Amino acid sequence: MNHNSEAPHVGDPVALIILAAGQGSRMQSDLPKVLHRLAAVPLFAHALNTGRSLDPEAIVVVTGHGAEKVGKAVAKFEPEAKLALQSEQLGTGHAVAQALPLLDGFAGRVIVLFGDTPFITAETLAALAGHPAAFCVLGFEAADPGRYGRLVMGAEGLEKIVEFKDADEATRAITLCNSGVVAADAAVLREAIAQLGNDNASGEYYLTDIVGIARAAGHRTDVVIGNEAETLGINTRAELASAEAAFQARARAEALENGVTLSDPSSVWFALDTMIGRDAVIGQNVVFGAGVTIESEAEIMPFCHLEGCHVSSGATVGPFARLRPGAELGGDVHVGNFVEIKNSLLHEG
């Protein structure tokens, strides 16, 4: 097959593999890294949430460290997801090899995401899913390329990916870096994974080595370039705190743009799935946990905490109120200060 003969993959079925096996030793934690919370949900839920925008036919989450805990959390967020176990962490290529048997019979585009990389956008995933190359990598221009793997480009797209520790000085001077996220034709991926070796500085099976294998078989390999901020992986508590700040800043800006009044934006905290209708008014120091919907023209007064609840149009909550899971407030309901409600329905008015 010649390099330019591959057709666009727009409309091909998509399967997701989410890598969530790492221990995250730099978190200094007994909790698996992907279970640390960002925007009130476990880290992996962000990749899962964005991946859903592709309407995937199948989702496989690769677990390892703390597999049982991770599996339970995954089932809560995506009951349809299948779980693969990577009992030894022998690299990204090895992780994908554990997932592929659960995609037997799938023909289409496989996208490999990381459970600790929460900010990839739906637009970027759509570009990866629809790219004509048989194997496509998400790259980014790094402000400080540091220890990232480098993407070596040529006349026909991506020539190779070189890990930092295997790179010479000339290659280390390249600023186009590898995020690790890839999209591949399922058949090409199966074929190439079967040929992966571990002859490198780490003794691991790198997913990135597929570029050479796919090219040798005459397939086109290429790069989709994303924003560096999208590719941020979380490895430490400090990075988790920075990611939380970045998420909250974006969520507040979106709320204001969508017609929500925030009296003091910097003191309002959102969850990944917070839904607020236009003309709602949110006072200062309000915290939203997971699973909250606020309809238009409702008002949440200062110092309230809400999770797993629904507040209908025109209702007023607080100040200093707590709505817990299962609280349903009808239209124009008023919940006063220092009230706590759970598993209760308050009818209109």
Specify the pLDDT at position 7. 74
Q: What is the pLDDT of residue 3?
A: 43
Same domain for 297 and 208, yes or no, is no
Q: Are strands 58-63 and 82-85 parallel, antiparallel or unpaired?
A: parallel
Q: To the nearest whole number, what is the mean pLDDT of the chain? A: 95
Q: Name the stretches of the chain with pLDDT < 70.
A: 1-5
Same domain? For 65 and 116 the reply is yes
pTM over 0.75, yes/no: yes
Hey, is 224 helix, strand or coil?
strand
Q: What pLDDT does 8 receive?
A: 72
Compute the distance between CA of residue 329 and CA of residue 344 in angstroms, rounded to an integer. 8
Q: Are residues 276 and 211 in the same domain?
A: no
Residue 239 lies in a domain: no
- Residue-wise pLDDT tens digits, 308-324: 999 999 999 999 999 99
Same domain, 218 and 262: no
Asked whether residue 285 falls in the same domain as residue 164, the answer is no
Q: What per-residue confidence (pLDDT) applies to 5?
A: 54
> What is the residue range of 52's domain?
14-231
Distance, CA of 166 to CA of 162 (rounded, Å): 6
Domain count, the chain: 2
pLDDT tens, position by position, 54-76: 999 999 999 999 999 999 999 99
The pLDDT assigned to 4 comes to: 47
Q: Which two tokens stand for residue 53?
A: 């925008």
CATH of the domain at 88: 3.90.550.10
pLDDT at 163: 87
CA distance 50 to 315: 31
Query: Active site residue: 26, 147, 237, 278, which one?
Result: 26
pLDDT of residue 153: 96
| C-alpha span between 306 and 156 (Å, rounded) | 53
In-domain check, residue 3: no
26 noted as active-site residue = yes
**Range 62-89 burial, b when 16+ CB lie within 10 A, else e:** bbbbbbebbbebbeebbeebbbbebeee
Q: What angle do CA 129, 132, 133 make, to 5 degrees?
A: 95
